[in-house]
Every structure is written in C-alpha cells, then in structure tokens.
Chain A
Amino acid sequence: MRIYVCVKHVPDSAATITIRGNNQIDESVTFLLNPYDEHAVEEGVRLKAQIGASEVVAVTLGKEAAINTLQSVLAMGADRGILIKTNDRPDSIFTARALKAAIEQDGKPDIIFTGKESIDSEGMQTMFRLAAALDMPVATNVVAFSIDREHAFVECEMEAGVRQLLEMPLPCVIGTGKGLNKPKYPTFIDIRKAKQKEIKQIVLASLKIEKPAASMEISELKLAVEQRQPKELKGQPQEIVKELIQVLRDEAKVL
C-alpha cells in the first residue's frame, strides 16, 4: 500500500508568540510537528507494520525549515518525505490543491492520514478539501481505525461520549484525533537512521496550481488581551463559598 501522511510544521504551543508586522508571528521560536499529525504518522507506520509491503510518505508544505519536521516524521518511521517549498503562507483552499498535486506527482495513494486540525491556524478543514479534490471519502476526529482489503472502518469521536462508526471504501482520507494511538518517541538510533532517508523538495510554483476563485487571508493578527484582574476570595471556607455563590448569582447570573 502507498500510505501518505500530510503534516504541518507549527510553533510549539508553549512558545511565546510575538507579532511581526500586521499579520504574522515572529518565527524565531521553536517549531515542531503538529501534535495531531503525530497520531497520523503513528497510525500510518502501524498500518505498514501490520500489512507489510507498504511505503509511508510524509508530505508537508512550508518554508525550508519544515525539513526539521519531516526529519522527526522520518524518525518516527515514515520512509521518505516531500517538502513543497514556499515562503508564502497559502490558505487551506490553496494548500489542499498543492498537497493533491504533489501526492499525484509522486504516486497513487491508497490511504492518506493527517491530523484533524493544526494547532497554529486551527482551520479544521484542509483534509476535507484534499479529499474533495481527490474525490475520496473522508472522516475526521478518528479515534479507532482498521482496514480490510477494500475498506476503512473508523470510529469518530463526536460530543459528550458519542461515537459514529463509519465505513469507507479505499482510498480515503483519515483525520486523526487524539485518542487514536500513543505515538512512540523515536530513539537516538531512529533519529540517526532518519538522516539517511530521502526528502524530496518541490518548489510550490513548479506545481503550476491555478489561483482558486475563493480565498481566505489573515488581514490582522493581534495578541489576545489578558484583561482579567484576579481577586482572591479569603476567609473561612464557609464564608468563601458564600461569597462565591454571590458572585455566581449577581455577577455571572447563572443561579
């Protein structure tokens, strides 16, 4: 099987974000593999281990620095990587087209895994656009996964402990959720071996993607204002709780 994993190089959620210009962040912070994509990589690698005779190909779109993220994916067990290189920050409408073009240039996918969302732009949509472009079925927030020769069977977590069980013909796109698996962290040897693996670089422009009619752009990016002024409720426990209830009733008006 040919297993593709689409990943994103994102700022560490623990990083201190500062704004540059009107609509960008200062990128001199630690970047890493998008956490939801870790589950996608892990599932792709597990699937290969289960069925054998497969190749796991990681694809990302980003600046040259995104090679670091591909390296981590290769250390987790993917066989090779593809970087669609650009200094722009295309929206998900364009990104899905680029991923499709790069994947189709590389081979014929039997299944595509990707995280259910990225933790930087939190768009929650690229996998759906990719699936639509490739005319494949898609499931999101997948927390259980299996396949037979022709189908994928998934459980998707909905709200409040409800799951939907879906069946889809292969090839399909799987948006991985947190409960799906526990990614294994690579050993030193894995990391060293990954350095031998191939990373193909494609210049985005060379894919000759037609400009879509629709687009989304960040017109302004600001730091979120932290405007809360913490007040301590002090006293004996009984009194503290009495005060708290007053707050809930008079200020929050929820009682």
Chain B
Amino acid sequence: MEKVGILIEFKDDKIKKTNYGVITLARQQGCELYALVLNGNAAACKEQLQQYGIKKIIDIASKEGPLQWHPVKWARAVVAAMDHFGINTLCGLTSAQGKELLPRIAADLDAPLVMDCTDVVLNERAAKKSQFSGKTVATIKVNGNHFIFGIRPNAIEKQPDPCEAEVIPFQTTVDKEALVVKEIKLQTHTGIDLTEADIIISGGRGMQKPENFAILFECAQVIGAAVGASRAAVDAGWAPHSMQVGQTGATVSPKVYIACGISGSVQHFAGMKTAGLIVAVNTDPEANITKNCDYYIVADLFEIVPILSRQLKLVVGENQLT
C-alpha cells in the first residue's frame, strides 16, 4: 500500500476543514495515510483526524519543541519526515501556506509538483488542474521518485470514515537558515478566509462605493460566509486585494458563490468557476455572468441583499431553535 503524507494546515491553532477533502481523496484510493503536523497540535487534532480515516499522525518537532512558523525550516522538516517514514507522495492544500511550502519541498527533493489540482489519481501519477485562466483542464503526468500535489481547497468533497489514530512523535534537527521570519503582521480586516469558506458573497463594480460593502459583510455574517470582490472593485480601491477573487486574486471553490454587481469577466471566472453553485445578482440581464451561472436575479443588489440578510436571519434563528 502506497504511503501518502498529508500536510495538515491550521488556522489560529484550529484544523482547517479543507484538510478533510485532501484526506478523503487519498484515502479513497486505498493509500496508507500519514498526517503530518508541524505546529505541536498533533494530539489536539487526533479526534478530528481519525474521523476521516487517518491512522497515523506524525507529530513533527525539534529538540526544543514545536516548530515556530518558518517556511524553509518547515519544508525541510517535512522532507526529513518523508524520508524517515518512507513517504514518497505528499498531498497538501493550494492555500497561501501550501504555496509557500509545497514548492519549497518539491525544489528540495527535485520532485515533480502539481499545484491547484482538482483531482489526482495517485497510482497513475496523474493530476487534473485548470490552465489558461480556467479555460482548459490539463491532465499532468508526473515522473520521479517523489510526487507532490497541492489540492485546490474545497475541490474534493469530504467523507468521514472513523477509525482510531495513533500519534507518532518525530524529532528533526533544525538548522539556522539564511531566510529569517521577522514578523507575522495582521492587517485589519476580514474574518473568514476566502479559500476556506463554504459560501462567498462577492461585490463588483455594481457596489458603487467602498462603504456599500457593509451590506455584503452584514449578510455574510449571518451565515458565516466570506466576502470577496472583483478586480474592478479592488482596482477602484473599494476593497483590499486580499479580498479579490479571480485571475490575479484568490482561486476559490465554495459550495455557493453569490456574485453581486459583477459582470463576470473571463478573469473573474478563472477564480471561481469551480464553485458548487453560482448565483448572480445583476441589473443587466445581458451581463456575462448570467450566461454561466446556476441562478440569476435581474435586480438591484441594494434591494435584494438587505432582504436576503433579513430573511437569512429568520432562517438561521429558526435553525437554532430546532
């Protein structure tokens, strides 16, 4: 049975739920799974990981204890663990952290890497990913001694498969590195991570001014959604670049994507076309987005969104009562 390492990601010490899709993908192909945890939370996430069929959790640490975030040291530690446990295939998320770590690991091992995979057939060493701004789907075959895949967050539906996991400590030596992490700086804003969110509400040119994003935030808060923006809105200075969805922003795959006042350029679709359900609210019935969505509403977003917030509050309230 092929050993596959799953690089587990956390956000504020909580396991990201998008990890479960990556685990599901590898588990359903009959691989022996090793969850790799670097931040000292291996024991704390045992309960959650074993719900998804993880039997081995590798608690990677140095002599001094858990590893502080450092992209080079973390990449080296993963390589050391792969080497020690004889793991030749590694799967992770194509998140900001994955984009830092997976290519460093691949470069270290001189191994092939496919990022932003929407599917992987591990025994065929083949991955599917979009190319050319989402206009094509490429099947990429990899050859080598190690294989690394970054999975698009939310691209694979998670399926539980409970079992009992053991935590295996693994101590690695950490060398001094040329690259130094000086600080992790939190910008003011936003709450839920776009790539993690099940629901995203995005605003475009139709938002008209920065203050108007407040109605999207209000609606998002009711249902735990993230708020995104189109390039037009970001370029106009109405929203920060960290909220941008599309070619030069985040690539997202939520269950529901609600586009408000977004025309739906090719570049925007490149960032959200793998969403489960796309809903468009636009005053222009001819807008490109109405031609490639699941549901569209030809109406003023400033009328629809506040009503949606109010009705959602009622629904969420009822859910909590029952």
Contact = CB atoms under 8 A, between A and B. Distances in A.
Interface of A: 11, 13-14, 17, 19, 23, 25, 35-36, 91, 93, 119-125, 127-129, 131-132, 137-141, 143, 153, 155-169, 178-179, 212-224, 226, 228-233, 237-238, 240-242, 244-245, 247-249, 251-255
A132 B182 contact: no
Contacts of A218: 138-141
Nearest to B224: A254
Contact of B270 (A13, A25, A167, A213): A13
Interface stretch (B23-31, B39-47, B52-60, B297-305): B297-305
Interface in B115-152: 115-116, 126, 129-146, 150
Given A137-B179, A166-B182, A219-B140, A159 B195 contact: yes
A157 B131 contact: no
Given A159-B193, A252-B255, A141 B99 contact: yes
30 contacts: A13-B267, A35-B247, A122-B116, A123-B115, A128-B104, A141-B99, A157-B242, A158-B97, A160-B190, A161-B242, A162-B96, A162-B184, A163-B185, A164-B181, A166-B180, A166-B182, A168-B179, A212-B110, A215-B112, A215-B143, A216-B140, A216-B141, A224-B134, A224-B136, A231-B294, A240-B297, A241-B307, A247-B277, A248-B256, A255-B316
Given A164-B183, A214-B144, A237-B304, A179 B139 contact: no
4 A-B pairs closest in CB distance: A214-B144, A161-B187, A132-B107, A128-B103
Contact of A168 (B144, B178, B293, B298): B178
Q: Main SS of the interface on chain B?
A: mixed
B241 A157 contact: yes
A224 B135 contact: yes
A215 B115 CA distance: 14
Nearest to A39: B248
B208 interface: no
A161 B188 contact: yes
B279 interface: yes
A219 B311 contact: no
Contacts of B266: 13-14
Given A159-B95, A220-B139, A165 B297 contact: no
Contacts of A119: 132-133, 247
Given A160-B242, A166-B181, A224-B130, 8 more contacts: A124-B94, A138-B104, A140-B99, A159-B194, A160-B191, A167-B179, A231-B296, A244-B297
Interface of B: 69, 72, 94-97, 99-100, 103-104, 106-108, 110-116, 126, 129-146, 150, 177-195, 198-199, 223, 240-242, 244, 247-249, 255-256, 266-267, 270, 273, 276-279, 285, 290-299, 303-304, 307-308, 311-312, 315-316, 319
B99 A213 contact: no
A245 B312 contact: yes
Contacts of A35: 247-248
Contacts of B319: 255
A166 B277 CA distance: 39
A245 B145 contact: no
Nearest to A163: B185
Nearest to A132: B107
Contacts of A163: 184-185, 187
A213 B72 CA distance: 24
Contact of B131 (A122, A138, A159, A160): A122
